[in-house]
Amino acid sequence: MLKTVSFITENFGKYDPKSIDSYLSIGGFTAVKRALTMSSNEIIDMAKAASIKGRGGAAYDTGRKWSQAASVPGLNKVVICNADEGEPCTFKDRAIIENDPFRLLEGMIIAGYTVGAQNGYIYLREEYSHLRPLLINAIAESKAKGFLGQNILGSGFSFEIHLYSGAGAYVCGEGSTLIESIEGKSGRPRIKPPFIKECGLFQLPTLVNNVETLAIAAAALTHGIDDYIAFGTEKSPGSKIISLAGNVKKPGTYEIPFGLTIREIIYDIGGGITDDNELKFFQLGGASGSIGPASIVDTPYTYEDLGKVGLTVGSGGVLVVDDRTRVIDFVKSIQDFFIHESCGKCTPCREGNRQILRIVDRFVDGAQNPRDLETAERFAHIMSNCAFCGLGETAQSTLLSAIKYFPEEFEVKGGKLE
Ligand SMILES: Cc1cc2nc3c(=O)[nH]c(=O)nc-3n(C[C@H](O)[C@H](O)[C@H](O)COP(=O)(O)O)c2cc1C
Ligand code: SF4
């Protein structure tokens, strides 16, 4: 099996991302032209057949999501491209925007046409403000060439794209919070129902998709889905852009076919562990993902195989940690992150994170009480079940997986943690 492939990333380095003429010279906008000759149902069927799972983290089936969005009544709908990319150890959306902004716009136009939307919004994280000029130019050039605006390519379909920047909060990557942010409100999630597919931005039916999801849709329409599903496994077809980081020799973004083992990702693609140290554990899907020990490094990177060992693809982050790091110190760094990013709206997350940090701090110092471990686990489960949004629900994935895979690191030996 090929270790890296080039389907979603096929245009990287092949054209000047500042120029639509350069994009057109390599066949750009083939996907939009093709989509406009198809019906909404035909595009949805294609997305379903390709089993494109959303790449923002929740892995929701894109064909299903588009089908639901298309069936919501409404003459004025919205498509949002989620370019918040706030998950730690995740930088693949940035790579797509930097290298292939026009394909992202194609994905948005196709999504808009499919679900019947008139307006698209890109929500770009504040830390990527240097990419604003690139996107502003791509939008303006696409409009000048008739790929955006009124009556696109004479099809009768009209669509505009607007660019918004966040202010740098992780929780604003959550769909309803992102919408509050665009509307100028503070970044806190909305209660559901109503669901944003029916009542989202400015109370309009809204579809939210990740950057990579939209880029895949455009690539699949450019080439047909057979080229895409030729990669991967039966249950996890296709490819995924991963963000490989941490104690690895060759960090970066790589497009991989589903089905490689984590060992192949770390050693063959990443060149192995920095300074040839020993692998201790890895974390998949960013800070909200779980950690896995070196003993399961031969697990294939597919939705189904990772699920069996309690891991998820999530945002596609692969963080490698070597044997110089204590698990409890890593857990503390994640805990600090979630306390900083909790919006404070609900008690389980606001208070739970703080109480767990107090316990984790005692473990770090080797000064824990006999019931601390049990209490931390109980709080973590309460958070997972009772928090108001996905941030609080997943904040304890690291702690719980650390306790599961490294119970010995939570034992006291001689008054201090080993
Ligand atoms: C706290 C939190 C942060 C999130 N951050 C992002 C993000 O930065 N980018 C993203 O695409 N999705 C993020 N998501 C997931 C989105 O809510 C949503 O599921 C996703 O944008 C849908 O797109 P998809 O179906 O294409 O994956 C986040 C979710 C939560 C709960
Ligand atoms: S779980 Fe609650 S406190 Fe935490 S970010 Fe979501 S709404 Fe805010």
pLDDT at res. 187: 96
What average pLDDT does the structure give for the chain? 96
The CATH number assigned to the domain holding 250 equals 3.10.20.600
Which of 270, 297, 322 terminates a domain? The answer is: 322
In this prediction, residue 411 has a pLDDT band, given cuts at 50, 70 and 90, of confident
- 284 C-alpha to ligand 2 centroid (Å): 22
Q: Could you read off the pLDDT of 120-140 as tens digits, one per residue? A: 999 999 999 999 999 999 999
280 with 174, same domain: the answer is no
Q: What is the mean pLDDT of residues 280-305?
A: 98
* Percent of the chain's residues with pLDDT above 70: 98
Residue nearest to atom 1 of ligand 2 (CA): 392
Q: Could you read off the pLDDT of 216-255 as tens digits, one per residue? A: 999 999 999 999 999 999 999 999 999 999 999 999 999 9
Is residue 11 situated within a structural domain? no
φ, ψ of residue 210 to 5 degrees: the values are -75, 155
Contact 160, 140 (CB under 8 A): no
87 with 190, same domain: the answer is yes
| Ligand 2 atom closest to Cα of residue 353 | 4
In this prediction, residue 412 has a pLDDT band, given cuts at 50, 70 and 90, of low
pLDDT at res. 413: 53
316 with 334, same domain: the answer is no
Residue type at 269? I
Is residue 154 situated within a structural domain? yes
| Ligand 2 site, residue 288, Cβ cutoff 6 A | no
Residue 303 has pLDDT above 50, yes or no: yes
Q: Which of 62, 68, 89, 174 to mutate to test the pocket of ligand 1 (most atoms within 8 A of CB)?
A: 174
288 with 221, same domain: the answer is no
φ, ψ of residue 82 to 5 degrees: the values are -85, 100
Is residue 9 situated within a structural domain? no
Which of 322, 346, 381 terminates a domain? The answer is: 322
In this prediction, residue 2 has a pLDDT band, given cuts at 50, 70 and 90, of confident
Q: Which of 171, 172, 180, 288 to mutate to test the pocket of ligand 2 (most atoms within 8 A of CB)?
A: 171
CA distances from residue 116 to 39, 41, 68, 204, 334 in whole angstroms, order as listed:
11, 11, 11, 12, 40
Neighbours of 249 (CB within 10 A): 14
| Ligand 2 site, residue 7, Cβ cutoff 6 A | no
Q: Could you read off the pLDDT of 359-408 as tens digits, one per residue? A: 999 999 999 999 999 999 999 999 999 999 999 999 999 999 999 999 99
**Nearest ligand, CA of residue 344?**
2
In this prediction, residue 418 has a pLDDT band, given cuts at 50, 70 and 90, of very low
Residue 211 has pLDDT above 70, yes or no: yes
pLDDT at res. 318: 98
Residue nearest to atom 2 of ligand 2 (CA): 346
263 with 405, same domain: the answer is no
**Nearest ligand, CA of residue 352?**
2
pLDDT at res. 391: 98
Q: Which of 300-309, 349-358, 409-418 has the least mean pLDDT?
A: 409-418
- 92 C-alpha to ligand 1 centroid (Å): 14
Report the sign of the C-alpha dihedral through residues 12, 16, 17, 22, in that order. negative
φ, ψ of residue 297 to 5 degrees: the values are -70, -15
76 with 157, same domain: the answer is yes
Residues 6+ apart with CB under 8 A from 316: 55, 90, 92, 212, 240, 241, 242, 243, 285
In this prediction, residue 1 has a pLDDT band, given cuts at 50, 70 and 90, of confident
Query: Model pTM?
Result: 0.97
Tokens found for residue 373: 């471990």
Q: Which of 170, 335, 342, 386 to mutate to test the pocket of ligand 2 (most atoms within 8 A of CB)?
A: 342
Is residue 14 situated within a structural domain? no
| Ligand 2 site, residue 192, Cβ cutoff 6 A | no
Domain count, the chain: 3
Residue nearest to atom 28 of ligand 1 (CA): 174
State the Cα–Cα distance between residues 262 and 297, nearest whole angstrom: 5
Which of 322, 345, 373 terminates a domain? The answer is: 322
State the Cα–Cα distance between residues 152 and 405, nearest whole angstrom: 54
Neighbours of 153 (CB within 10 A): 14
pLDDT at res. 417: 47
Q: Residues lining ligand 1, judged by CB closer than 6 Å?
A: 54-58, 60, 65, 82, 84-87, 170-171, 173-175, 208-210, 213, 389-391
Is residue 214 situated within a structural domain? yes
| Ligand 2 site, residue 388, Cβ cutoff 6 A | yes
Q: What is the mean pLDDT of residues 329-355?
A: 98
| Ligand 2 site, residue 172, Cβ cutoff 6 A | no
Is residue 314 situated within a structural domain? yes
160 with 25, same domain: the answer is yes
φ, ψ of residue 292 to 5 degrees: the values are -130, 140
**Residue 363 structural domain:** 327-417
- Determine if residue 116 is left, alpha or beta; phi over 0 gives left, psi from -120 to 50 gives alpha, anything else beta: left
The CATH number assigned to the domain holding 115 equals 3.40.50.11540
293 with 389, same domain: the answer is no
131 with 51, same domain: the answer is yes
Cis ω before 237 (30° cut-off from 0): no
- 242 C-alpha to ligand 1 centroid (Å): 16
State the Cα–Cα distance between residues 277 and 87, nearest whole angstrom: 26
78 with 192, same domain: the answer is yes
Residue 416 has pLDDT above 60, yes or no: no
Is residue 12 situated within a structural domain? no
| Ligand 2 site, residue 189, Cβ cutoff 6 A | yes
Tokens found for residue 146: 């008739």
Residue nearest to atom 22 of ligand 1 (CA): 209
The CATH number assigned to the domain holding 365 equals 1.20.1440.230
Tell the residue number behind the tokens 């240097």, with chain if given. Answer: 130
> Burial code of 31-47, b = ≥16 C-beta within 10 A, e = fewer?
bbbbbbebebeebbebb
Is residue 385 situated within a structural domain? yes
70 with 117, same domain: the answer is yes
- 392 C-alpha to ligand 2 centroid (Å): 5
Tell the residue number behind the tokens 């990557």, with chain if given. Answer: 173
Q: Could you read off the pLDDT of 240-249 as tens digits, one per residue? A: 999 999 999 9
**Nearest ligand, CA of residue 170?**
1
Q: Could you read off the pLDDT of 159-208 as tens digits, one per residue? A: 999 999 999 999 999 999 999 999 999 999 999 999 999 999 999 999 99
State the Cα–Cα distance between residues 102 and 214, nearest whole angstrom: 11
Q: What is the mean pLDDT of residues 333-355?
A: 98
- 348 C-alpha to ligand 2 centroid (Å): 8
Q: What is the mean pLDDT of residues 285-312?
A: 98
355 with 338, same domain: the answer is yes
| Ligand 2 atom closest to Cα of residue 383 | 1
Surface-to-core class of residue 59, CB atoms within 10 Å of its CB (0-12 exposed, 13-18 middle, 19+ buried): middle
Residue nearest to atom 2 of ligand 1 (CA): 174
- 379 C-alpha to ligand 1 centroid (Å): 24
CA distances from residue 126 to 165, 167, 172, 296 in whole angstroms, order as listed:
6, 5, 11, 36
